Amino acid sequence: MRSRFSALELSRLDMPATLPPPGPELSEERFEASRATLFVDGFMTHFIKVGGVLVIAAVLGIFVFILFQILPLFQGAKVKPVQTVQLPEQQYSVMGVDEWAELPFLVSAEGKMRFIDLQQEGKITEIDLATVTKAAPAAPSPAAAEPETPADSAAPDAAPAPGAAAPPPSPPARAALFSAISYNARKQELALGSPDGRVAIVAVNYTTAFAEDGSRTVNQTLEAGEWLPLGRPGAPITGIDVGDASDAKLIGVIQQVGDGAEVHAVALTRKRTLLGGGALTAGQSHDLTPHLTGKPVQIHVSSSANAIVIVTADGEVEYFFKSGEQFELRQVFKPFGDLADPTVASIDFLFGDVSLVATSISGQNRVFSLYRQAGSNVRTFGQTKEFEPLPGAATFYTSSLRNKGFLTGTAEVASLRYSTTETVRWQEKMPFTIARAVISGKYDRILFLDKENRLHLYSLADPHPETSWRALFGKIWYEGYSHPEYEWQSTGGTDDFEPKFSLVPLIIGTLKGTLYAMVFAVPIALTAALYASQFLHSRFRAVVKPIMEIMASLPSVVLGFLAALWLAPLIETRVPSVILMVVAIPLTAFGFGYLWSGLPFGARRLIPAGYEFIVFLPIVVLVTWVCWHLGPAFEKIAFVVTDPATGARVADFRQWWPQATGADFQQRNSLVVGFVMGFAVIPIIFTIAEDALSNVPLSLRSASLALGATRWQTARSVILPTASAGIFSALMIGLGRAVGETMIVVMATGNTPIMDLNIFSGMRTLSANIAVELPEAPVNSTFYRTLFLGAMLLFLATFLVNTIAEVMRQRLREKYKTV
């Protein structure tokens, strides 16, 4: 084969005779990193690891802190013995105690009142009530008191040791001075009934004195009123109770008349003058006996001095209400009419006098509360609670002066219960036979008197009786309500207010606000991200994306301010215009896209690819303007209603909506929240979704277009599935942002915890509730810990959303990784 090169060319291809000298030899040290570089690299590696561990530790620390704040909410009451004091042998009718449970007293039917100083080893001070009532209204003088007699102090539940000093002997018994005695613990008043049909009220006043060393001493004084004749003259009083409403008192008595009994009531009123309150004057005596259907055996008067409850021997309860100067029999019912023996063993008012706690002979324990029943315009008693039965008929009852708790039980079993939550806080078989019991005013002590005349002091630790799983997440039948409800109402205007700590309205409010925000934000954010990444010219994309990222940094308090003071009043009268825009703008977008795709190629090429929005944007603005101004005309056609005030036909969506749906219309509502909170969420979803769509490999897009697919077909069938993992992450992050939003919800809604999905009513979310309520919550109170429980729910919701997002993201990535 002949060569293709000439000799000259071959000579030029010849290698030179001598090779160039070799260069300097390369050292291995040249490829080794410097010590400084290795140090910085190692330091940053460990720094990042430590930082990650610290972040995890901080999150776990927050979780543990919140957990320890809420765990006490689910603990029961703790009752422990503290002290036992032996008392003189006597038959005691009434027991009471001061606020600090340091100076309890007992009263016998003979008129002996004994104060026991538990801080001085049970030292007893005895006062003769006969002397006090005769000396009314002055306080008892030292001469009126009997000599102070020390009492033995024994270990809890232990009998006196052999050889120990015997209990002080009781004085010789005398005839019963008082035929009936009752004690109003809330007002600290004794009501005394005599065998000759008279009544007297003795106020028990406690005062405190502090020594230089800070020790406290509790002292007592008695102030007695005059003896007042009541009812049938000379008939012995066998039952008595008094209600005290400061300016008025109501006394009810049962008098024995032959083999029967009568019930009488009298109101005492105090006239106010410029110099203060005057003396109490007795009004007309009322005979309630003609209204009774059986023999009265118990009588109870409400502390508001406007109601009397009478229990008859056959188990009927008759409820009288004082209206003006007359008594109205409002209700007769049998609390245990469904039982074989309907006899009422005990019944009395609960704190607040809205509910009655009743027990039957067989131990059934029920609560009856006042509320308006169907077809009635007055409140009557209806059963709202039923506790687990006692072992037998209740022999004692005492209610708390701070909450809806009460203590009841049999001679051997004591049971502490809470009416609101319908739970037994503590129950135990006692090592003695219970005669009487009382709860201290601070709800931290319980005193028992046994049949052996020993006084037992127990400590009570029950800081959170208002909560239970049912109270927090279930329906509760609250006092005054006609049916069980989910309710959040943390504070009230009176001491006897019943706290309502259901978190369900707050959870519903959180979901409601999130739902409307996502409904508004998701379509706009995703379609905008798809258009910006696949259709918009890169020149405009470089401007749009930074603007959206800046929008994400807008403070939520500013958005909430604008929503409350500008957007809410604006939309209130323009809802028909908003409805037209919600319908017309999407239809306009679809119509424009359909018509644009149908134009000849020559016409479409006049607008370069990525510049189509220049034509579309003016059309959207025009449609929006037209819908806004057509709204009033649309309202006159579709939303005409009869004005309830004038009877005229008016076009007003605000009146039409309640009449058409039965739901409220409020200015600050979920529609406003959806717009503004959606505006806050759109930049987050847009930014992350646009990044995911833009990062789809260009080769996939080019291959689809090369095979003849249109830009829309490529975006729908190739780009979206490939970027689905990132899009889903964007949605979950936006959802988390909406769930935790606080200031927009606080300012743009009525912030009322309600239980509906009405778009024209407000809501209260968990985060907004914490922001609003936490400054008013006493530290470590039930209210305070319940707010932390709401924080825990938000914490868990965020954790759950992020977990689901990560799992779904991984699955989507695995599904489309080969595309």
Number of C-beta neighbours around residue 633 at 10 A:
13
Read off the DSSP letter of residue 52: H
Which pLDDT score, from 0 to 100, does residue 413 have?
A: 95
- Which range has the worst mean pLDDT, 228-242, 364-378, 490-504, 615-629? 490-504
Average pLDDT over residues 750-778: 89
Q: Dihedrals φ, ψ of 766, to 5°?
A: -60, -45
Which pLDDT score, from 0 to 100, does residue 20 have?
A: 62
- Check: CB of residue 434 under 8 Å from CB of residue 447: no
Which pLDDT score, from 0 to 100, does residue 29 have?
A: 65
Higher pLDDT, 800 or 410: 410
Higher pLDDT, 14 or 366: 366
Q: Would you place residue 269 in the very low, low, confident or very high pLDDT band (cuts 50, 70, 90)?
A: confident
Q: Would you place residue 493 in the very low, low, confident or very high pLDDT band (cuts 50, 70, 90)?
A: low
> What CA–CA distance (Å, rounded) separates 372 from 482?
6
Which pLDDT score, from 0 to 100, does residue 135 have?
A: 37
> What CA–CA distance (Å, rounded) separates 299 from 254?
7
What single-letter amino acid sits at 18?
T
At 676, is the secondary structure helix, strand, or coil? helix
How far CA 671 is from CA of 13, 333, 663, 747, in Å, comes to 85, 49, 14, 14
Tokens at residue 404, please?
């809806």
Higher pLDDT, 355 or 607: 355
- Check: CB of residue 365 under 8 Å from CB of residue 390: yes
Number of C-beta neighbours around residue 530 at 10 A:
22
Which pLDDT score, from 0 to 100, does residue 246 have?
A: 76
- Which range has the worst mean pLDDT, 142-151, 228-237, 695-704? 142-151
Count CA atoms closer than 13 A to 647's CA, side-chain side: 0
Please determine, for residue 162, whether its predicted confidence score (pLDDT) is greater than 50: no
**Mean pLDDT score of the chain, rounded to an integer?**
86
At 310, is the secondary structure helix, strand, or coil? strand
pTM of the model: 0.83
> Which CATH architecture is the domain 504-818 placed in?
Orthogonal Bundle (1.10)
Number of C-beta neighbours around residue 126 at 10 A:
17
Q: How far apart are the first and last CA of the chain?
A: 53
42, containing H or E segment: helix 35-70
Average pLDDT over residues 130-140: 56
Which pLDDT score, from 0 to 100, does residue 142 have?
A: 36
> What tens digit of pLDDT does each residue of 58-116 get?
989 999 999 999 999 999 999 999 999 999 888 898 999 999 999 999 998 888 899 99
Contacts of 179 (CB under 8 A, 6+ apart): 109, 193, 194, 195, 236, 237, 238
- Which range has the worst mean pLDDT, 143-157, 323-337, 352-366? 143-157
What single-letter amino acid sits at 669?
N
Closest CA to 207 of 139, 150, 142, 145: 139
Please determine, for residue 451, whether its predicted confidence score (pLDDT) is greater than 50: yes
pLDDT > 90 fraction of the chain, expressed in percent and rounded: 52
Average pLDDT over residues 718-735: 89
* 670-694 helix and 538-552 helix, angle to the nearest 10 degrees: 130
Number of C-beta neighbours around residue 320 at 10 A:
23
At 286, is the secondary structure helix, strand, or coil? strand
Query: Is omega for the bond preceding 137 within 30 degrees of 0, making it cis?
Result: yes
Torsion from C-alpha of 641, 644, 648, 653, nearest 10 degrees = -30
**For the chain, what are the domain ranges?**
504-818
Most confident range, picked from 33-42, 89-98, 138-147, 416-425: 416-425
Q: Dihedrals φ, ψ of 167, to 5°?
A: -55, 150
> What CA–CA distance (Å, rounded) separates 663 from 760?
8
Q: Residues, the chain, total?
A: 819
* 766-773 helix and 782-816 helix, angle to the nearest 10 degrees: 150
> What tens digit of pLDDT does each residue of 756-765 get?
889 999 899 9
Please determine, for residue 523, whether its predicted confidence score (pLDDT) is greater than 60: yes
Sheet holding 379-387, edge to edge: 344-349, 355-360, 365-372, 379-387
Please determine, for residue 22, whether its predicted confidence score (pLDDT) is greater than 70: no
Higher pLDDT, 116 or 17: 116
Supply the DSSP string of 442-454, one letter for each residue: TSSEEEEEETTSE
Q: Would you place residue 188 in the very low, low, confident or very high pLDDT band (cuts 50, 70, 90)?
A: very high
- Which range has the worst mean pLDDT, 158-162, 446-450, 457-461, 573-577? 158-162
Strands (E), 466-533: 488-489, 500-501
> What tens digit of pLDDT does each residue of 45-56 get?
999 999 999 999
Supply the DSSP string of 245-283, one letter for each residue: -SSEEEEEEEEEETTEEEEEEEEEEEEEETTEEEEEEEE
Please determine, for residue 147, whether its predicted confidence score (pLDDT) is greater than 80: no
Please give the distance of CA 622 from its chain centroid, rounded to a whole number: 49
Read off the DSSP letter of residue 20: P
